Amino acid sequence: MFWGILLAAIIILGASSSRCRPDSTLPADTDLKLLPGFHATVIAELGRSTPRHIVVTKEGDVYVKLDRLQNGKGILFLREKGDGTYQTISSFGDYRGTGIALKNGYLYASSDVAIYRYKLNDKDEVVDPEHPETIVQGLLDRHEHTSKSIILDDAGNLYTNIGAYSNDCQVQDRVAGSPGRRPCPILDSAGGIWQFKADQSNQTYGNGTRYATGLRNVVGLDWNTATNTLWVMQHGRDQFFENYPNLYSQEQGNELPAECLYELHNGSNCGWPYIYWDQFQHKKILNPEYGGDGKMTAEPDAQDPVVAFPGHLAPNGLLFYTGKQFPDKYRNGAFIVFHGSWNRQPEEKGYDVQFVPFSGNKPTADPVVFADNFAGENPIPTPNSAKHRPCGIAQGPDGSLFVTDDQGGTIYKITYTGK
């Protein structure tokens, strides 16, 4: 009886202790399935605070942007405890959101309408967390595709996504048969990437440049230092089968349009809302709202993607790997984090991290699934039933990868051991 009571007490105490827990009692893969030689550990469990994008400092500390405030704060600062797990040292920022970045002695973070920055000390700790500098304000927030992902280049520029508040710029959004508007009025302030100065306060649209257009929504983006260019993953449009069953089967609706990886330059046009990329026909196809029939090509001025993935995987994270821990074939390759999407019934896919090897700006092989089984149950009936939904990705100073999960609140660290 005594030993039974003692065991029960230990279990209860263990379950109610810190949300950051060691992985030594778990299987090496922590339920994830990884390519051979890689090892994943759970470094933190943040509950329902929905960690989105993440950055890791040169000291190995972690800043996480939350989409749901935790005790009124939207940024967490985590530090390793000595046992492989991380604990929250501080929290700050009274706004929710997705974007976070480190550059030139500052931490940048975004809400859905603004971008802020915080001065760092020589250990990359925020000096004055209660008084951030407002870098950009007044960005469009129309309750769909609201997240403002951010990245900076080495020339003093900051880039942010402003997602389109529409499926395909119809007169009546998401209504079968409603025509698309041409020109699309949304593109003047959304549906693209805007460039601002990284060190100028209180900028608005008038100070910025529409760097790229024709992008319905971008959550995952990265500055590729090998090509010195901006790369983004676009979320494609929805409802081909639901709204146009005479043109698309349910299987086609699940697979189309492709989720696309683009290399961007100033003035890039990726074609939304007029066209989409069909990965089976390997060409741009006119959207049905603009007279397309699933085969008709159009908009030759829209650029082609570099890599095309199946539809409705919801790419939320993008990272070009520059570390030295992983084998050489991973150097300068792209890791893409797929969040999973609602518009793929009943064939849910995604909920994984995929990898594409690159040489310069060209892929050298097809994508492979690098880390899988985040969602748990297979197949997944709906996104809400997934156990974990991977979202953000960052590289640590030792070349390891950190991946967030905004459904279960878990943060994973992936290392290469060769075993």
Q: Residues 114-135: pLDDT tens digits?
A: 999 999 999 999 999 999 999 9
User: CATH number of the domain at 40-272+302-416, please?
Assistant: 2.120.10.30
Two tokens, residue 321: 């790997």
pTM: 0.92
Q: Which residues are CB-contacts of 152 (< 8 A; sequence separation ≥ 6)?
A: 101, 103, 104, 108, 158, 159, 198, 223
Compute CA 195 distance to the chain's CA centroid, rounded to the nearest angstrom.
Answer: 19
pLDDT at 10: 31
Q: Would strands 157-162 and 229-234 be described as parallel, antiparallel, or unpaired? A: unpaired
Structural contact between residues 219 and 161, judged by C-beta atoms closer than 8 angstroms: yes
Domains in the chain: boundaries: 40-272+302-416
- Dist CA 107 CA 115 (whole Å): 11
Q: Taking Cα atoms as reference points, which of 185, 148, 181 lies closest to residue 163?
A: 148
pLDDT at 346: 74
Residue 359, Cβ density class (10 Å: 0-12 exposed, 13-18 middle, ≥19 buried): exposed
Sheet holding 150-152, edge to edge: 150-152, 157-162, 192-197, 209-213, 268-269
pLDDT at 257: 98
Sheet holding 73-80, edge to edge: 51-56, 62-70, 73-80, 86-92
Q: Residues 385-413: pLDDT tens digits?
A: 899 999 999 999 999 999 999 999 999 99
pLDDT at 384: 85
DSSP string computed for 363-384? ESS--EEEEE-SS-SSS-SSGG
Going residue by residue through the chain, which has 419 residues, state the pLDDT in tens, using 9 for 90 and above. Answer: 333 433 333 333 333 333 333 333 333 347 899 999 999 999 999 998 999 999 999 999 999 999 999 999 999 999 999 999 999 999 999 999 999 999 999 999 999 999 999 999 999 999 999 999 999 999 999 889 999 999 999 999 999 999 999 999 999 999 999 999 999 999 999 999 999 999 999 999 999 999 999 999 999 999 999 999 999 999 999 999 999 999 999 999 999 999 999 999 999 999 999 999 999 999 999 999 999 999 999 888 999 999 999 999 999 999 999 999 999 999 999 999 999 998 887 777 899 999 999 999 999 999 999 999 999 877 777 888 899 999 999 999 999 999 999 999 999 999 999 97
